[in-house]
Amino acid sequence: MTKIIEQFMPTLESSEVAVIDLPDGCSANLPDFTTEAYKDAYSRINAIVIEGEQEAHDNYISIGTLLPDKAEELKKLARMELKHMRGFTACGKNLGVEADMVFAKEFFSGLHGNFQKALSEGHLTTCFLIQAILIEAFAISAYHVYIRVADPFAKKITEGVVQDEYLHLNYGQEWLKANLGHCKEELMKANKENLPLIRSMLDEVSKDASTLHMDREELMEEFMIAYQDSLNEIGLDNREIARMALAAVV
């Protein structure tokens, strides 16, 4: 029996919880994975994820060239990204969908360009912010929302992937935390330039995401949670975090 737990407005004395039973094998509001509309949207979303995992692989390898003593560790992260990419490629195949890679390359081009520029200038803080914080938080939020509405095959794969993405987010967090004394200014500047790109990527993907029953507001909410938690872990105070988050709206 599947149980859905709904949380109502908590009162001072209690937080009421209702448990609704659904028949076995039945989950709330799953889309029909066989329709043309679903497959059409999936051809772009699946491509975005495949491209994102490939870019993540390349980015960790690139960061390793700036940090030779960490290159081996970073290669391990990169290898995980290739495994993710293969997993998501299998998800598309399983649904009979061909990923629109041309669309996905274009989708990532802004962030890709900014990462390459930072890399060529040796700006490690910017590289870590773009890859390990912004892209990983974007992936974590999207995968959490997707898991709730995915087909059973993709659900299993995505559940495995999302655990790894927390390790990646954590890796970047630790580096930024250890270097915060001298990287704060660059961090703020890089955030101002790159958070708006994540925001527009979320906007751009939201129509296709909604065809997959992924809600835009929910995506944003999950992103903001992962992003703010990680800035908090890095050691920024509430005012600094609020200032950084505001870059998404102004």
Chain residues binding ligand PL3 by CB under 6 A are 45-46, 48-49, 52-53, 56, 81, 84, 88, 91, 135-136, 138-139, 142, 146, 165, 168, 205, 209
Contact 196, 128 (CB under 8 A): no
Nearer to ligand PL3, 11 or 29 (CB): 29
Q: Least separation, in Å, of the C-beta of 213 and ligand PL3? A: 11
- The single-letter code of the amino acid at 164 is D
Distance of CA 178 to the CA centre of its chain: 23
> Is the dihedral angle over the CA atoms 193, 196, 202, 204 positive or is it negative?
negative
Q: What are phi and psi of 214, to 5 degrees?
A: -100, 120
Closest CA to 97 of 145, 42, 150: 42
| Binding residues vs Fe ion (CB under 5 A) | 53, 56, 81, 84, 165, 168
Nearer to ligand PL3, 84 or 123 (CB): 84
**The entry of ligand PL3, Fe ion, none that residue 46 binds, CB within 5 to 8 Å by partner kind:** ligand PL3
- With vertex at residue 177, the alpha carbon angle to CA 247 and CA 134, rounded to the nearest 5 degrees, is 40
**The entry of ligand PL3, Fe ion, none that residue 157 binds, CB within 5 to 8 Å by partner kind:** none
Q: Least separation, in Å, of the C-beta of 18 and ligand PL3? A: 29
Contact 194, 108 (CB under 8 A): no
Q: Least separation, in Å, of the C-beta of 18 and Fe ion? A: 36
**The entry of Fe ion, ligand PL3, none that residue 49 binds, CB within 5 to 8 Å by partner kind:** ligand PL3
Nearer to ligand PL3, 123 or 168 (CB): 168
Q: Least separation, in Å, of the C-beta of 1 and ligand PL3? A: 27
**The entry of Fe ion, ligand PL3, none that residue 91 binds, CB within 5 to 8 Å by partner kind:** ligand PL3
DSSP state of 129: I
Nearer to Fe ion, 53 or 208 (CB): 53
Nearer to ligand PL3, 100 or 165 (CB): 165
Q: Least separation, in Å, of the C-beta of 201 and ligand PL3? A: 7
Both structure tokens of 72: 């081996």
Q: Where are the beta strands (DSSP E) in the chain?
A: 2-7, 17-22
**The entry of ligand PL3, Fe ion, none that residue 226 binds, CB within 5 to 8 Å by partner kind:** none
- With vertex at residue 93, the alpha carbon angle to CA 88 and CA 98, rounded to the nearest 5 degrees, is 95
**What angle separates helix 152-211 from helix 71-95, to the nearest 10 degrees?**
80
Distance CA 200, CA 203 (A): 5
- 3-state DSSP call for residue 89? helix
**The entry of ligand PL3, Fe ion, none that residue 231 binds, CB within 5 to 8 Å by partner kind:** none
Q: Least separation, in Å, of the C-beta of 97 and Fe ion? A: 20
Only one residue has tokens 């995401």, namely 209
